[in-house]
Amino acid sequence: MGSDIALSETLGAPHVPGLAVRILPAGKPHLSQKACASSGAVSCDYELMSRVQRLLTPLLTGLLVTLLQLAMAVGLLAPQEPILERYSALVQHDSYWFMNIIDRGYQTIVPPVDHKVMELSNVAFFPAYPAIAALFRYAFNVDSFAALLITAQLATWFFWTYFFLFCKRWNVSPALQICGTLLIVAHPAAFFLVAGYSESLFLMTLFGFIYWSTAKSRSAKIWAALHGFLMSAARIVGIVCALFPVVYAVLQTGWRGLREPRKWLREHTAAVGITVIAICGAIGFFIYSQLRWGHWDIYMLTQAAGWGIVPDYLAVFKPGSYRWLVPALNDPTEASQLSMTLGGLLLVGIALCELVPAIRRRAGLPLRAGIYFCAAAIYYLSVSGVACVNMESMLRYEFCVHALIVLAFLNFLNQFRTPPMLVRAFGIAAVAFFTAAGLCVQGWYVWNFTRGNWVA
């Protein structure tokens, strides 16, 4: 079954169903023993090759999509310079802060300076992305900018690999896989996956965290905990997303199970343990900040002092936060404001699809609800954080929400029978329209981004 496919299976010894073992006296091998061993070897080789093949397809497909994104950004839209300079144009804005952290480590004065000066206060970014990039830099003796891009693009490859592994697990049709891929690739902020930003690492760890948390093998729990640890060390919102295993467990067993908390904890110790380990990525950063500067919240203080971030946790409920005007292409703030509005509408539309009796599907609902929980958490915390700066950068933050919703919607649509030809034609036309429009807008943003202009 597709749902039983797990990456960890390729690491363990294959099991051959129905292969009986007889213990014979020492000495000359029995003829049946030779036949059994021969049959077992062939079966083992077949299963191993089959599992490698099942993993190879998502890996190659993910690599292809990553290379296409990179080719569009570097080959088509970057400045007309030598290839190395075109490639390095993907390092802009926040990338320089990550490079500063790689080169100097975290540095700050207490209290943080009240404007953006990375030489004085650079503790405004979580550590996972610069830490992994630093490993690449010192391991392969490359420049910091190259290490950032290698890290981001490897994470993009594995993000797409997990996307296609989900599709294989759910037996999603090739047509739906193509549509889902196009809807993600065509998002105006999708190019940040291959740029020197942390979006790709966060999405890769989040998708991997969800994938392994819902796998059945024992080793999957280890992989889930590892992905979760890196996820919360990559973005502060990863702390809330780390609750996915608990939310998934609650939805699987029902809310009534919480009436007996001790019994529930015994039955779901693994889910709670994965969540606790996942949160430790962020907790480790806070402990480090407390021990070094005496302020566990120095990250938040730096954000408030340098970026003017003062969270408004009611912003998502205020009608004035939503903007309905078509943004000007040369005004990225307006684009971020519109993306906040469209992201809210998308979440509401998904909720209606899942709740309306005529179209709702209960199969896979706990998993989808867990994914929606992560999407809603990212949306809510992102809006709360950037409401005070007119939703600046919301276009980039909403991209993570968009990718999660596309993933969950593929699971939802895959449960329907093949629709009539007219419906399929309409769906293909809609996807083609949104893909063309999204890629056009994205192309404009990539053109500006690679020339040093602010986009999101």
**DSSP-assigned states of every residue in 57-95:** HHHHHHHHHHHHHHIIIIIIIS-SS-HHHHHHTT--THH
pLDDT at 13: 38
Angle at CA of residue 373, ends 185 and 303, nearest 5°: 75
- Going residue by residue through the chain, which has 456 residues, state the pLDDT in tens, using 9 for 90 and above: 444 334 333 333 333 333 333 333 444 444 444 444 455 555 556 566 666 777 899 999 999 999 999 999 998 899 988 999 999 999 999 999 999 999 999 999 999 988 889 999 999 999 999 999 999 999 999 999 999 999 999 999 999 999 999 999 999 999 999 999 999 999 999 999 999 999 999 999 999 999 999 998 889 999 999 999 999 999 999 999 999 999 999 988 877 767 777 888 888 899 999 999 999 999 999 999 999 999 999 999 999 999 999 999 999 999 999 998 888 888 889 999 999 999 999 999 888 888 877 667 677 889 999 999 999 999 999 999 999 999 999 999 999 999 999 999 999 988 888 888 888 899 899 999 999 999 999 999 999 999 999 998
What the block records as the tokens of 442 is 């994205």
Domain regions of the chain by residue span: 206-309, 311-416
* pLDDT at site 295: 95
The reply to whether omega before 111 is within 30° of 0 (cis) is: yes
Which pLDDT score is estimated for 255?
72
d(CA 101, CA 404): 29
pLDDT at residue 23, rounded to an integer: 37
Q: Are 133 and 144 in contact (CB under 8 A)?
A: yes
Burial of 289 (0-12, 13-18, 19+ CB in 10 A): buried
Within a 10 A sphere around the Cβ of 200, how many other Cβ atoms?
Answer: 26
Place of tokens 């005070």: 388
pLDDT number for residue 50: 65
> Which alpha helices (DSSP H) does 294-420 contain, by range?
298-302, 332-355, 365-386, 394-413
Model's pTM, two decimal places? 0.88
- Tokens describing residue 286: 């806070």
Query: Do the beta carbons of residue 446 and residue 187 sit within 8 Å?
Result: no
Q: Which residues contact 219 (CB under 8 A, 6 or more apart)?
A: 8, 11, 12
pLDDT at 47: 64
Helix (H) or strand (E) holding 266: helix 261-267
In the numeric block, the tokens 């009240």 are attached to 114
